[in-house]
A and B are shown apart, each in its own frame.
Chain A
């Protein structure tokens, strides 16, 4: 039987200081144009924590509003606060930067993350008050060190500074003197990814209503790499995050595929569970510091706040079929192959039309498509357009070409089968997966019968191939109950009777 989606989590950590110090748009600008107007103006465009919480797309991401609600909000979103917005949502939370830094230090196993004494004492209580943060994790928070020591580490030992409201409050040290893979920069990036993944794992366990020990395997599908100079990218974020989250019965591994990583990982998880290898698998990913403020130059130029100010994480729990939760149907898998090519119609054909055709279905048989769910509030001012809408137009055009959709219905296809994007531009984070939590609930509620999740990845960024990539899968209402009722008592009686009859016939023949 197919595996099921038991639950999902979506978390954000508001990290405006990391926009300034760690986002590659900003770090690059500091190298090539240190006196630029952009760098001068940047800090005045950073949002407060309250503004970040009140932001409609963020509230959708953590589950306090449905994507359908966002459709009703007048565009753009950045100047409209959501009434009743909250830090905590049904899928996760928006963690403030100070508390996130404490989580980062708690996730550090090699004493490279150091925080200032006064900072720790000021924020530790608030950190401990977060209902998802366990006593074990709080106990890992160290007392802290003197600010002079932190300054010396940053100024003399190449440590990456950790800041709050422009003030140095800690640092991440290098983990090796000459190994660039263990440099302060890489350790910082990896610890941020790990900490946001831990937060996502904790919420996913809560949301799926399972015991931590139920999880047997964790797959991390973020876009960072950890290892030393002898095995760059050796891993293993999955097990490292599982350790902090307290998943004592789990092992795991990392799966990578650029933005398509989560979709690849979810198919792998569904296959592992369906095969019986593991009963319960968590697919998790933390956020990416490099992408913070990625489109910041355009946002500042147009007078907008820096909207890419959050690290994001997600986790999906895949378990054995319970006869209730929506299934991942492994019979309908789309894949962009080496031979597919890069033409947009070929890409969408391989990911959408081909797998459905193989299953005897039409494009219009899918109730909702979740391709790249980037928030258009971020991408449109930067000239990248409305990414989800562009995907829907392509899917609709293909449906018309295949005679599965009337040309007159082109314009309404996105409204009927699509969603308005709400996910932060954190690479793998918006790629198909932000909808899984809502899809599970909408299918359980009978609002729809299925959804297709599409992940696409830009492999050419690694300079190993010019190829594009992508995979897709379909989530559908549970059919386990039907499968279970397939063998009735009458049928069993009939099977025994037939076996006895065949046996008797064989005896008579002898």
Chain B
């Protein structure tokens, strides 16, 4: 998970997949800096 350490991360989550906030939590624990997080709905 070191690939995300100190990196700025843009997150586009999927309403029927993995939503933005869930990805953001994972990114934070890996040391990433979430600069944008959104969840989109395609249905």
**Which B residues are in CB contact (< 8 Å) with A294?**
42-43
**Which B residues are in CB contact (< 8 Å) with A385?**
16-17
Q: Is the CB of B21 within 8 A of A466?
A: yes
In the complex, A372 has a CB within 8 A of chain B: yes
List the A residue with the shortest CB-CB distance to B19.
A342
Ordered nearest first, which 4 A-B pairs have the shortest CB separation? A384-B42, A458-B41, A342-B21, A342-B19
**Which B residues are in CB contact (< 8 Å) with A391?**
16
Q: Is the CB of A342 within 8 A of B22?
A: yes
- A384 and B39 in contact (CB under 8 A), knowing A343-B22, A466-B21? no
Q: Is the CB of B42 within 8 A of A379?
A: yes
List the B residue with the shortest CB-CB distance to A429.
B43
State the interface size on chain B (CB cutoff 8 A): 14
Q: A390-B16, A461-B41, A468-B39 are in contact. List 14 more A-B contacts (CB 8 A).
A: A295-B42, A343-B22, A344-B22, A372-B43, A379-B42, A384-B16, A385-B16, A385-B17, A387-B16, A390-B17, A425-B43, A458-B39, A466-B21, A468-B15
List which B1-43 residues lie within 8 A (CB) of chain A.
14-22, 25, 39, 41-43
Of A259, A342, A343, which is in contact with the most chain B CB atoms at under 10 Å from its CB? A342
**Which B residues are in CB contact (< 8 Å) with A295?**
42
Q: Is the CB of A460 within 8 A of B39?
A: yes
In the complex, A430 has a CB within 8 A of chain B: yes
Q: Is the CB of A374 within 8 A of B43?
A: yes
List the A residue with the shortest CB-CB distance to B18.
A344
Q: Is the CB of A384 within 8 A of B43?
A: yes
**Which A residues are in CB contact (< 8 Å) with B18?**
344
Give Cα A47 to B20, complex, Å: 35
**Which A residues are in CB contact (< 8 Å) with B14?**
384
Q: List 13 A-B contacts (CB under 8 A).
A: A341-B21, A342-B22, A342-B39, A343-B25, A372-B16, A374-B43, A379-B43, A384-B43, A387-B43, A391-B16, A458-B41, A461-B41, A466-B21
